[in-house]
Amino acid sequence: MVAKKPSGVVNQEDSGHIYYNTADIAAHQQSTPAPQAAPASAPTQDPADYDEATEGDNVYYNNDEDVYASFKASQPKLDAVQKYLVDALASGKLKEEFSTLESMPEGVPQEVALLKKNFKKNRFAAILPYDRNLVVLRDGYSEGTATDFVNASYVSGYKLDKQFIAAQGPRDNTVGDLWRMIWQEQITHVVMLTNIEERGKPKCELYWPEEEGGVDTFGPVTVTTTHVQCRDDFFIRTFSVKRAGSDESREVTQYHYVSWPDHGAPTTTSLVTFWRYVHNRTKPADGASVPPVLVHCSAGVGRTGTYIGLEIGVDMAVNEGHINVLDLVKRLREERCLMVQAVDQYLFLHKALLEAYTAYGTNVSVDEFDAMFTGHITSDKPHPRVDKEFQTLQQMLNLTPAHRHDTASLEENVAKNRNPDILPSEEHLVYLTEHVSGRNQYTNAVFMPTFRDHRGSIVTQLPLPSTLVDFWRLVYGNDVSAIVSLSSPNEEQEVKPYCQYWPINEGKTLTVDPYTVTLTSKTERRGSKVTSYSLNLGKKGVKTTRVVELLHYKGWTGKVGGSTSDILHLIDTLVTLQENTNTDRLVVQCSDGVGKSGLFCALCDIINRMTYDREVDVYMTVRHVQSVTPKALSSVTQYRYCYEVVQNRVREMSVYANAPQR
């Protein structure tokens, strides 16, 4: 998304400046409870209520074709699929092409949805399923308002008939119908692409018990939420489902993507990472007969069509070596009206297909890693497969629109940046919320997504002596309870001016008005490059202090993090610390806030994914990091090092798994 210009500067009594953090304001507005929706009524006919409203198109895709045109002019090496997608995105004609699409085939009946007994079950009056591929509920259940109708359509996959069911998000009078359909169709996987509320408007009725262990009954179906997992952009929920009159219990998994913005589209790296996670768990084996995957958003056409189009398009591109997105969307609209509803989604589908197709095959299971990546991987020696991935990574980085650095480049902030070439982007900039006389809201820091949290880490530079107070404002204002400081053994001599921002002797206090930082304990592990510091952080006028744990790692050598065993020890120590202290937000700090920090953040996510998902996805993890800080992991040496660390951890896991159990 093109970052917004700072909203303005407001003078304070002390002449300090404060910048409106528009992202936080928007987040606050979105989190404000919406008025209770009225009881089930006639479907809305207001297009502004569509969850795929097109008001943000021009903002999200402004001038993007210039990026693709410049890339095309550089004559990169592309195969037929990549060339088709790049040519389309560079042409500037996709909006015109989209306008040629018919919303639905002429003369296709939608009479069942228009029946008086069914019409109030539709969320939108203009978005109705076709009679010919409507999902019909055949269980005879007729309690309350139940009928045999649900606003859902069978949709064919690349080769498989009825691979998907595309549906609207349930209304308060159709939740039971949704679960009746899930039971009837023996659905085991549900993909949800909307939030319950967006922009203060209801988008989907909550159709599951929110709390782990919660139980609720919807019509004839009882649902128990047995497990909830969190990732940075999505949730994975597992339900146990029972139907009245049956002793059978079934397991249903919901994949809930929560990062589709109100306007426009998500980042390609975010959605493709989610899609790959779901795809790896739902793809049917060749020739296998499997239940359909239920995909829904609010209306069941825009985001839903984009997601299904991504799935079908990648399968087609990989298996046939070509693709035509216009024909693909026409085909989708043969089965449900308005699929890929808005022009921004049509443009985004091209981008997501390019991202997913280019990254195809870079995700491997832990069990397959050694077979896929043969030979010993080291950061200082070429490796054919790893080096080829890095070349692809660099090529895709050229397709990333340039970040804007308006706030960081303001005259009053320039001196706060250690490196004038490493500046935080407007989109990811962390604004300081702690007021200190004479200081504005700027510091050189960005939010970085982690394995579990979209804003789980704050990445920043080593503070300058003149910005020391801003560092502790950053920590205090964001409720940070853990800091990782990354340095070489001779950092104090190599980085000028160096700033020691915490006391190194037990019992000593560093005063940075209005904050005090006291070292309560220090632990140096024999043979380890990690020193642990427990700090008490206080603030003038506040009686209570906060505990902040700091891990100082001095094992960095050159561009890489030292021996793989040392860096893995640091990551494991951090994971244990976060589990034991329930740490939510982390600060990662190195001299410039990019070189060491970007690599470390990538490694943490890679190792966590190996542990919890048993998958290795170095390529997309680095793409994710570079979407925030494009200068991170800029050398093939660092990219190889990621794989060297992975190979070491895979072999550790293998040894542990094969060890005799007592």
Q: Rounded to whole angstroms, how far apart are CA atoms 106 and 1?
A: 36
- Residue written as tokens 């998500």? 266
Averaged pLDDT, 587-603: 98
Confidence of residue 285 (pLDDT cuts 50, 70, 90): confident
- Residue written as tokens 């329930």? 582
Tell me what percent of the residues of the chain surpass a pLDDT of 70. 89
Averaged pLDDT, 44-48: 51
Shared fold status for 57-62+93-360 and 414-658 = yes
- Buried-state track 496-505, b at ≥16 Cβ within 10 A, e below 16: eeebebbbee
Whole-prediction pTM:
0.90
Given a cut of 80, whether residue 57 has pLDDT beyond it is no
414-658 topology per CATH: Protein-Tyrosine Phosphatase; Chain A (3.90.190)
Residue 258 one-letter amino acid: V
- Specify the pLDDT at position 19: 57
Q: Rounded to whole angstroms, how far apart are CA atoms 48 and 44?
A: 10
Give, as one character, the DSSP assignment of residue 191. Answer: E
Question: Domain coordinates of the chain in residue numbers?
Answer: 57-62+93-360, 414-658
Assess contact for 621 and 585: CB atoms under 8 A.
Answer: no
Which three-class secondary structure state does DSSP give residue 654?
helix
For 338-352, what is each residue's pLDDT tens digit? 999 999 999 999 999
- Residue written as tokens 């989190």? 31
Tokens standing for residue 262: 């109100």
For 465-486, what is each residue's pLDDT tens digit? 999 999 999 999 999 999 999 9
Residue 330 one-letter amino acid: K
User: Which residue numbers are catalytic?
Assistant: 297, 590
DSSP letter string over 501-551? -S--STT-EEEETTEEEEEEEEEE-TT-SEEEEEEEEEETT-S--EEEEEE
- Specify the pLDDT at position 55: 34
For 188-227, what is each residue's pLDDT tens digit? 999 999 999 999 999 999 999 999 999 999 999 999 999 9
Confidence of residue 658 (pLDDT cuts 50, 70, 90): low
Given a cut of 80, whether residue 41 has pLDDT beyond it is no
Q: How far is CA 71 from CA 64, 187, 508, in A?
A: 11, 43, 55
DSSP letter string over 463-491? PPGGGHHHHHHHHHHTT--EEEEE--TTH
For 531-569, what is each residue's pLDDT tens digit? 999 999 999 999 999 999 999 999 999 999 999 999 999
Order of strands, edge to edge, in the sheet holding 221-230? Answer: 134-136, 149-155, 164-167, 293-296, 189-192, 249-257, 234-243, 221-230, 215-218
- Buried-state track 375-403, b at ≥16 Cβ within 10 A, e below 16: eebbbeeebeebeebbebbebbbebeeeb
Q: Write out the H or E segment, with its range, that includes residue 589.
A: strand 586-590
For 383-418, what is each residue's pLDDT tens digit? 999 999 999 999 999 998 889 999 999 999 999 999
Q: How far is CA 85 from CA 60, 68, 101, 340, 651, in A?
A: 18, 10, 18, 17, 39
57-62+93-360 topology per CATH: Protein-Tyrosine Phosphatase; Chain A (3.90.190)
Q: Rounded to whole angstroms, how far apart are CA atoms 183 and 581?
A: 41
The residues, any chain, with a CB within 8 Å of residue 36's CB and separated by 6 or more, are none
